[in-house]
Structures are given as C-alpha cells and as structure tokens.
Amino acid sequence: MKFDSKSYSIIASIAILSLIVSVVPAGFSDSSDAATSITVTDGYGTEFTFDDEPAHVITVGKGITSTVIQLGGIDKIVVADSYSKSDTDPVFDKLRQYVSEGKIAANGNIYSSGKDQLQTDIVHAADTGDGGVFNKETDPVIITGGNSYITPIKDYLVSNGFKKILMWNDITEYSKIPDFVDTISKILTGSTSDKATQMRHVSQVIADGIEGHAKADAFYVTYSGSVFKVGNINSLANSMIGAAGGNSVTTDDSKAKPTYEASLTSLMESHPNAVVFIDQSVITNNKLDDLRTQVGDSTKVVQLKALWNNYSVESMTGVWTMACAMYPDLFSGDVPTVPGKAANNTILYLGIGLGAAVAVCIVGVMFLRRH
C-alpha cells in the first residue's frame, strides 16, 4: 500500500494523540479503587488490620502523644495521659488547649496513682450513652510504657470490649524509632511518613559527614537511686550517641543494662575529650553542680530534652544536637531536611505532546488546503 503526504500527516497526528492518551492514565490514575485496609504490627508483634483511617485515637505516653501530634493527628485524639498534658514542651501546647476546651481528656496515666482515672477516661470516651465518640471496634488505643504497667490496663480494656489496643514496651535503638513513626502514620493516614524519612536521612547525613574522621568520645548520664548512672546497651540515649556518629565509652556488655553506676571522674580521666549528655533527671534533682564537680568545668555538657530520649519524632533533633556537639566543625544549624523529590513532569510532557499533535494537525490541514 502506498501512502501520500496527506496520509502521512493524518497517521502522525493519530500516533501522537494515541501516545498522549496512553500517558494521561499514568500521570492521573484514579486510585479510588485501591485497597484502603492496612495491617500493622505493634511492639509486641501483634498484628492489627484497619479497614480505613480511624476517626479517633487514644494515646498514652508522651512519646506516642507527641508523635501523633507531629504527624498532624491532634484532632483525632480524644484521650491522652496526664504526663503529656503537664509537659511544657511546645509540642504539647495545642494538646493543653484542647484539654482546657474539653475536647481531650488527660487526667490519668499508667502508674498506680493515675491508672484508675486513665481507664475511666478511656471508657467514658467510648460510652455512646454518654456522648462518647470513640469506637471500640475500629479506633485504636496506643499505649507505651513498662510491661508491668501497661499489661493490666490492656486486660481491663479488653474486658470492656476494646478491640484495637496497640502497645510498645521499649524501643532501645534510634534506628527503630522511624519504623515506629511509620507505623503510627500508616494507622492515621494509610501511608508512611515524611517525618520518618527525614529521621533516616539525618542518620545518613551524619554518617556521610564523619566519614574519614575519628569518632568522638561521649557518654550519657542520668540520675536515679541517689547516684549518677551512665548509659549502656538497651539505653535509647546511648544508642543515639552511636546514631550521631559518636563512640559511647560506657557501653559494656559485662555491666548492668540499660544503665549502671559509674565514677564520672574516672571516666573523664580516661576520656578527657568526651562530651557528656545528661537527661532531665540531673536537673530536676538539682545535681548539675555535683556533676560539674566530677567531670570538670571544661567538659562539654549537653542537656537532652525529654522528648529526644523517647518514642518521638523529636528524637532526630536530639541526634542532630549530639552530632553538632561532638563534631562542631562538621555539623551546625537546623536539622537536615530531605532534598525535594523530582517534580512530576507528567503535565509538562502532556503539554508538549498536545502542542506537537496540534502542530502536526495544522500542517496536515494546510497541506490538504494547498492540494
């Protein structure tokens, strides 16, 4: 079969228009038919499936409450714990506002002094006969804390008909916190979180930045039982030193975990350039002067905020702060953000394709008019 110029013009136009039609679904596909259910696993290895994003959530523990807030879920919280309410970190400002407005109950906690009130708040939130909004069947209760404290609460809630009770007993490695954040994000929104991506990115930035440099010495100090204790294996703060590129000089598998009593003076004699990271307990027990006496006035001492050493998005700020303290010549400024993803060029390509098709059609029409 022979084609004249007119035929070629028409064929070219059809070909380009067909290509455009094939591209449009790729760039503008309708995801409404995608499955909405999602399955997640809590800290005890128990699987939970959510058929849709829950309308409400109960958060027990400062780490989980702050995480839900930072993932944009503050309006879903109906019950939190009293420790979250009383924490002065700005992350909890809106929580306190909602508590004062009666939108969130936060009167109890997992400990003996607050357990009954916490359980009362939770049951009340689900009491449909009393204006409750929490759905026992589909909405999650998320609890963090020691096993001996949270297990009795779970048993109580199960006996009262609550179906989705997710628990985390302990996260001792910074690398596991982004996974925790992703799990919570999947529950709240059905997808993983940019915050978790940023947390992993911070670790990579630090690892790349210290490559070829000697690791800085550091150790973590807390105060309990009337003595100073240092971080060891199973201490989150201790693992954060590693995530920040440092060498924790107190890591010792032969000693008590996650912390053990140690002579701070002896540690500084052995590691005179070590950076010392302290938690809130040193401050609240008025032991900063005592610590200074033992480590020396010239030692760099950095206080960690409570949320940094917790199941929290804020822990990446703690890791970055540690890295800046240990490597001031390498790191400074704000927490690194993930470089922007490449822009979606579908619309650009579509425009170019349409332009080309129109041009070919015009040429074809002009050819036909001349012939």
Q: Parse the chain into domains and list their residue ranges.
A: 1-31+345-371, 38-170, 198-326
In the chain, alpha helices (H): 5-27, 62-70, 82-86, 93-100, 115-125, 147-159, 177-189, 194-210, 236-243, 264-270, 280-284, 288-295, 315-326, 346-370
Q: Is 248 exposed, middle or buried (0-12, 13-18, 19+ CB in 10 A)?
A: buried
pTM above 0.85, yes or no: no
Question: What does the mean pLDDT of the chain come to?
Answer: 87
What is the per-residue pLDDT for 340? 80
What crossing angle do the helices spanning 147-159 and 115-125 adopt, rounded to 10°? 40
Q: CB-side exposure of 72: number of CA atoms within 13 Å?
A: 9
**Architecture category of domain 198-326 in CATH:** 3-Layer(aba) Sandwich (3.40)
User: Is residue 284 pLDDT above 90, yes or no?
Assistant: yes
d(CA 262, CA 250): 9
Instruction: Assign 341 a pLDDT band (cuts: 50, 70, 90).
Output: low
> In 3D, which of 153, 92, 75 has the Cα closest to residue 119?
153
Total length of the chain = 371
The CATH label, of 3.20.20.70, 1.10.1740.10, 3.30.750.24, 3.40.50.1980, for the domain at 38-170 is 3.40.50.1980
Mean pLDDT of 88-111: 97
Mean pLDDT of 320-333: 98
Mean pLDDT of 196-208: 97
